Chain A
C-alpha cells in the first residue's frame, strides 16, 4: 500500500510497526523492522518520505516496546516519527536528538500554547491538528506557532477528545490509545437475519442495519441506541471526512501538509484517494477550481456519506 500511495502521487506515507506502538494494530497489517527498512529505501528511491507512527501511549512499567520501536524506525531511516506520548517524545529527544519528530493527532494539541510547549520541550517540528478546529481557527493558530501544521482531509472521523477514548476498552479491554486497536476484530461479530444486520462488539449490539442500508464501522462511537423512546446515533454518525472542498482555505491558512486516514484500508482506497488529492492540489496550484474533484471519492465513504466535519462547524 505504501507503494500504491507513492505511485499515486503522495509526497509522504505514514506507517507503523507490527505491534501495539501504533494506532492501527490490526492482524496482518503494518511492517516488520526489515520490511520498514526496505520500504524507506524504496520510498526514498521514488522521491517520497516515510513517517513512522509510534503514536500510542506507552504503558507505565512497559515502555520497552515503544523505545524499541523508536530505535527501529530511526535505524530504518524514517524521515520523521509521529508520536504523542511525552515519554516517547522525551526518549526521542534524549536518545535521537537529530531525528525529526511530528506530534500525532493523538496528543490533541489544538492551541498555540500547547503546540509551543511540544516545540520547546521536545523539538517537535510539525503538529497534526486534532479534528475539532474550524478553518478560520486553524488560520489564527497557524500564524502564531513556530512549527509546521498538518491537517486531516479525508477518512474516518473520531469524535472523542483525541487520544482519550475509553469506549472500546470499556467493551473489550483493548483501546486505540493503549493497545493500538479500536474495536479489536476478535471481539466483533455480525448477526444476520432476513430483516437486519446486527454488528456486535463483545456481545453488545451496536447497531441494526436494514437490508441495503449503508453500514459503518462496528465501533461503539458509531452505534445507534435507543434513549428516551428514540433511536439515534448518540456520539457520531457513520460518515467520512472529506475536506477536499476546503483545500484552498487550508492552504491559505498556512497548513503545510494534508493527511488521509485509512492505513487499515487497501490499495484500491489508497490509490484512489492519493490520486484524487494529488490531482486536486495540482489543480489548485494551476489556479483552477476543485468542482470536478469533490465527488470522486463518495463511494468510499463510511455509511455512504461525507462531511467537512469541524472545519465548517455549522452547529455553532
Chain B
C-alpha cells in the first residue's frame, strides 16, 4: 500500500517509453523554467526540504488542451524542468492536470488546491502523498507570480498582489467559460 520513499512509479504503468518529440522552442524553455525552479529552491531552501522523501521524484504538469506538458524534477535543489508531450510516458511520481490559468494560480498560491479538487478543476493521478508534499512545499515557499518570474525582490510584494488580482480575474473568467 505504501510506496517506498522517492520511488517514481509511472502513472501509466506498463506503457513502453517512446522517443520524445520536441519543438525547437523546447530547449530554451527547459533552460528558462529550470533556472526558475533552481532560483526558487535557492531562495527557499527550507520549503524545498519539505519534499522529504520526494525530493528526487518527478512530477508531470499537464495544462488542459496545451500541446506540451512540463516534467518537473526538484532533484534536491538541482531542479530541472523539461518540456514534454502531454502523453509523455516517462515514469513520474504524480501527475496533475487542469486549465493553465488554474495551474499557475495554484503555483502562485492564489487558488486553493482543495477547492480546485472539490470543484473538479484539477485532476491528480499517481502517488497522492508525493503531490501533497509538492503542494505543501510550494505553499511553504509562499510564492507569488513575481517570485516565479524572478522580479527584483523589493518589487515582489506589490507585484505579487497586483498579479494575484489579475490571475484571480482570469481564473474566474475561465471558470465561467468552463
> Which of A100-108, A185-193, A227-235 is found at the contact surface with chain B?
A185-193
Q: In the bound complex, do residue A197 and residue B120 qualify as a contact, i.e. CB atoms below 8 Å apart? A: yes
Q: In the bound complex, do residue A27 and residue B120 qualify as a contact, i.e. CB atoms below 8 Å apart? A: no
A-B contact pairs, 14 of them (CB 8 A): A26-B136, A27-B133, A27-B136, A28-B50, A28-B137, A28-B140, A184-B129, A188-B129, A190-B128, A265-B114, A266-B139, A267-B109, A267-B142, A300-B115
Instruction: Give the chain B neighbours of A188 by CB distance below 8 A.
Output: 128-129
> Which of A79-87, A159-167, A208-216, A281-289 is found at the contact surface with chain B?
A208-216
Give the distance in Å from the alpha carbon of A51 to the alpha carbon of B140 in the complex: 19
A28-B140, A300-B115, A304-B118 as given contacts; A187 in contact with B133, CB under 8 Å: no
Within 8 A of A (CB), among B114-158: 114-115, 117-120, 123-125, 127-137, 139-140, 142
Q: In the bound complex, do residue A304 and residue B119 qualify as a contact, i.e. CB atoms below 8 Å apart? A: yes
Q: In the bound complex, do residue B139 and residue A26 qualify as a contact, i.e. CB atoms below 8 Å apart? A: no
Q: Any chain A CB within 8 A of the CB of B22? A: no
Q: How far is the CB of B178 from chain A (nearest CB, A)?
A: 9
Give the distance in Å from the alpha carbon of A238 to the alpha carbon of B139 in the complex: 25
Which among B112, B127, B134, B142 is the interface contact of A28 at CB below 8 angstroms? B134
Give the distance in Å from the alpha carbon of A303 to the alpha carbon of B119 in the complex: 7
Q: How far is the CB of B74 from chain A (nearest CB, A)?
A: 11
Q: Any chain A CB within 8 A of the CB of B18? A: no
Give the distance in Å from the alpha carbon of A119 to the alpha carbon of B25 in the complex: 67
Q: Any chain A CB within 8 A of the CB of B83? A: no
Q: Any chain B CB within 8 A of the CB of A250? A: no
> What 0/1 readout, one digit per residue, does chain A (148-186) give for beta carbons within 8 Å of chain B?
000000000000000000000000100000000000111
> What 0/1 readout, one digit per residue, does chain B (78-106) give for beta carbons within 8 Å of chain A?
00000000000000000000000000010
Instruction: Give the chain A neighbours of B130 by CB distance below 8 A.
Output: 27
Within 8 A of B (CB), among A259-291: 264-269, 272
Q: Any chain A CB within 8 A of the CB of B37? A: no
| CB closest residue in chain B, given A35 | B46
Which among A26, A215, A266 is the interface contact of B112 at CB below 8 angstroms? A266
Q: How far is the CB of A39 from chain B (nearest CB, A)?
A: 11
Q: Any chain B CB within 8 A of the CB of A132? A: no
Q: In the bound complex, do residue B119 and residue A3 qualify as a contact, i.e. CB atoms below 8 Å apart? A: no
Q: In the bound complex, do residue A190 and residue B51 qualify as a contact, i.e. CB atoms below 8 Å apart? A: no
Q: In the bound complex, do residue A303 and residue B118 qualify as a contact, i.e. CB atoms below 8 Å apart? A: yes
Q: In the bound complex, do residue B136 and residue A28 qualify as a contact, i.e. CB atoms below 8 Å apart? A: yes
**Considering residues B1, B3, B118, which has the most beta carbons from chain A within 10 angstroms of its beta carbon?**
B118
Q: In the bound complex, do residue B118 and residue A3 qualify as a contact, i.e. CB atoms below 8 Å apart? A: no
Q: In the bound complex, do residue B139 and residue A215 qualify as a contact, i.e. CB atoms below 8 Å apart? A: no
Within 8 A of B (CB), among A11-58: 26-29, 32, 35
Q: Any chain A CB within 8 A of the CB of B110? A: yes
Give the distance in Å from the alpha carbon of A216 to the alpha carbon of B129 in the complex: 17
Give the distance in Å from the alpha carbon of A87 to the alpha carbon of B123 in the complex: 42
